[in-house]
């Protein structure tokens, strides 16, 4: 069937919504007649959107691909402060459901022509009179364009109950505006061939509705219990990982701290033993690394002096030449303020201040050095020095470790990947 659009008409309709979302930045969006969720999948990459909801009468269609709306591994590995919740419902747009009130944007893309005219009236009342969103985008076929499809007799789809001319669509839209306090602009996608645009219009006609300012009082209606109906069935819901969730923030921060502690320790040991290996080059400016190493050095010196001053009773785990090869008892807090002791080889202390100044992500995530200390004190994975000013990490013998090189370089690469991923994941470019 011609004309064939490029990009396809389906993509052009979705692109129209995406452009609207980019300009208007709605936080809560619902797609009515979402079918297999293809528009929702594109919208989930728009991080201004915090709640993304899809509704379709056909639950089987929704279920087919709904898991594609879930977070991907990058969302877990590199969570941001953005928040996103996705909900999918089976239900009819002719019925009210309180969970769909108060949205910023409602989209209805090629849906209304699947309803009987009586149901279109219900749709108008549910969407404009009950859901009362800030904006609504409605697209539907423009029947005036149909003669350009050679061989098309009847409607474009066997399930269509009607296909409106531009005048019919506009008459319905203007009536809705009058009744429910909206204003509308008409446009469309799918250009007619040159010279015919004016006579036939767009292939898909679109009405963009905005709630009039005077209707702002409608928010008061949202508290009306009489209207609290739950007629839709929830099929799927998911919260995306976000750094606003304290558990996730803690997990990311701790893994970043452990990663950089290991890096700094390794670099310091290489400096000490003169076995510095460029394979371990840190992802930092050289100045930053050197500063951290100096801080590490200072801290070790200080710890050694403290050890001497305190005597043998409470030994701080520090690297010292004369203890080489000996096991040493070290103490750390177990997160509940109690001390635990454990036999292990010598430890390197990586000062929190060094981590703070070397790793921008650690400082950004923790907000302050004392917050960082607080968070690490609570975490069983992190061992802090007794004065809680440094992370303790077990020293390894570099010579014995040669067989681990592959693993280590994998670790370094994984680390680099995790840092590079931020730049590579340009989701906007993928949609």
Chain residues binding ligand SAM by CB under 6 A are 33-35, 38-39, 55-58, 61, 92-94, 109-111, 114-115
Residue number with CB closer to ligand SAM (16 or 259): 16
Peptide bond into 391 cis (omega under 30): no
Close Cβ partners of 10 (under 8 Å, ≥ 6 residues apart): 38
Residue number with CB closer to ligand SAM (37 or 384): 37
Residue number with CB closer to ligand SAM (93 or 136): 93
Residue number with CB closer to ligand SAM (55 or 106): 55
Half-sphere exposure of 268 (CA within 13 A, CB side): 28
Residue number with CB closer to ligand SAM (49 or 115): 115
Contact, 371 vs 380, CB < 8 A? no
Residue number with CB closer to ligand SAM (33 or 317): 33
Residue number with CB closer to ligand SAM (189 or 300): 189
Nearest alpha-carbon partner for 359 in 343, 378, 376, 372: 372
Contact, 33 vs 115, CB < 8 A? no
Minimum separation from the CB atom of position 57 to ligand SAM (A) = 4
Angstrom distance (rounded) from CA 38 to CA 74 = 20
How far from each other are the two terminal CA atoms of the chain, in whole angstroms? Answer: 26
Minimum separation from the CB atom of position 199 to ligand SAM (A) = 26
Minimum separation from the CB atom of position 148 to ligand SAM (A) = 20
**Burial state string for 319-346 with b = 16 or more CB within 10 A and e = fewer than 16:** beeeeeeeebebbbbeeeeeeeeeeebb
Minimum separation from the CB atom of position 205 to ligand SAM (A) = 14
Residue number with CB closer to ligand SAM (140 or 386): 140
Minimum separation from the CB atom of position 121 to ligand SAM (A) = 12
Angstrom distance (rounded) from CA 94 to CA 84 = 27
Helix pair angle (246-273, 286-310), 10° resolution: 80
- With CB atoms as reference, the residue minimizing the distance to ligand SAM is 33
**Burial state string for 387-405 with b = 16 or more CB within 10 A and e = fewer than 16:** eebbbbbebbeeeeeeeee
CB atoms within 10 A of CB 210: 16
CB atoms within 10 A of CB 272: 17
Nearest alpha-carbon partner for 98 in 58, 124, 125, 131: 131
Minimum separation from the CB atom of position 37 to ligand SAM (A) = 8
Minimum separation from the CB atom of position 38 to ligand SAM (A) = 5
Residue number with CB closer to ligand SAM (56 or 163): 56
Peptide bond into 3 cis (omega under 30): yes
Contact, 141 vs 108, CB < 8 A? no
Q: DSSP states of 237-259 as a string?
A: EEEPP-TTSHHHHHHHHHHHHHH
Minimum separation from the CB atom of position 122 to ligand SAM (A) = 9
Minimum separation from the CB atom of position 17 to ligand SAM (A) = 9
């Amino acid at each position: 069937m011609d004309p064939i659009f490029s990009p396809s008409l389906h993509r052009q309709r979705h692109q129209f919504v995406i452009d609207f979302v980019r300009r208007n930045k709605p936080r809560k969006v619902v797609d009515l007649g979402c079918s297999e969720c293809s528009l929702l999948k594109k919208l989930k990459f728009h991080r201004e959107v915090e709640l993304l909801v899809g509704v379709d009468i056909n639950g089987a269609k929704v279920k087919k691909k709904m898991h594609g709306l879930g977070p991907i591994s990058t969302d877990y590995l590199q969570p941001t402060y953005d928040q996103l919740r996705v909900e999918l419902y089976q239900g009819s747009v002719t019925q009210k459901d309180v969970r769909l009130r108060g949205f910023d944007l409602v989209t209805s893309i090629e849906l209304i022509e699947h309803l009987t005219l009586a149901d279109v009236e219900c749709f108008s009342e549910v969407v404009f009179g009950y859901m009362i969103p800030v904006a609504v985008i409605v697209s539907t076929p423009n029947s005036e364009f149909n003669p350009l499809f050679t061989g098309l007799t009847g409607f474009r789809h066997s399930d269509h109950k009607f296909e409106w001319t531009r005048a019919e669509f506009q008459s319905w839209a203007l009536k809705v505006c009058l009744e429910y306090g909206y204003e509308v602009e008409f446009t469309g996608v799918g250009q007619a061939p040159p010279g015919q645009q004016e006579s036939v219009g767009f292939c898909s006609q679109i009405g963009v509705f905005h709630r009039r300012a005077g209707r702002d009082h409608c928010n008061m209606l949202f508290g009306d219990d009489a209207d609290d109906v739950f007629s839709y069935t929830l099929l799927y819901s998911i919260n995306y990982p976000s750094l606003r969730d304290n558990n996730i923030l803690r997990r990311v921060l701790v893994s970043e701290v452990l990663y950089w502690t290991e890096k700094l320790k390794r670099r310091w040991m290489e400096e000490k033993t003169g076995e510095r290996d460029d394979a371990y080059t840190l992802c930092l400016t050289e100045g930053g690394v050197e500063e951290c190493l100096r801080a590490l050095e200072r801290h070790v010196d200080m710890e050694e002096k403290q050890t001497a001053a305190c005597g043998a009773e409470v030994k701080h785990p520090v690297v010292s030449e004369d203890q080489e090869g000996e096991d040493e008892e070290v103490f750390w807090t177990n997160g509940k303020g109690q001390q635990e002791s454990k036999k292990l080889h010598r430890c390197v202390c990586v000062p929190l201040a060094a981590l703070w100044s070397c790793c921008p992500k650690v400082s950004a995530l923790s907000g302050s050095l004392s917050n960082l200390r607080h968070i690490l004190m609570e975490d069983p994975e992190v061992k802090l020095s007794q004065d809680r000013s440094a992370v303790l990490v077990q020293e390894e013998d570099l010579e014995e470790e040669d067989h681990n090189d592959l693993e280590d370089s994998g670790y370094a690469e994984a680390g680099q990947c995790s840092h590079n991923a931020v730049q590579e994941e340009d989701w906007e470019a993928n949609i």
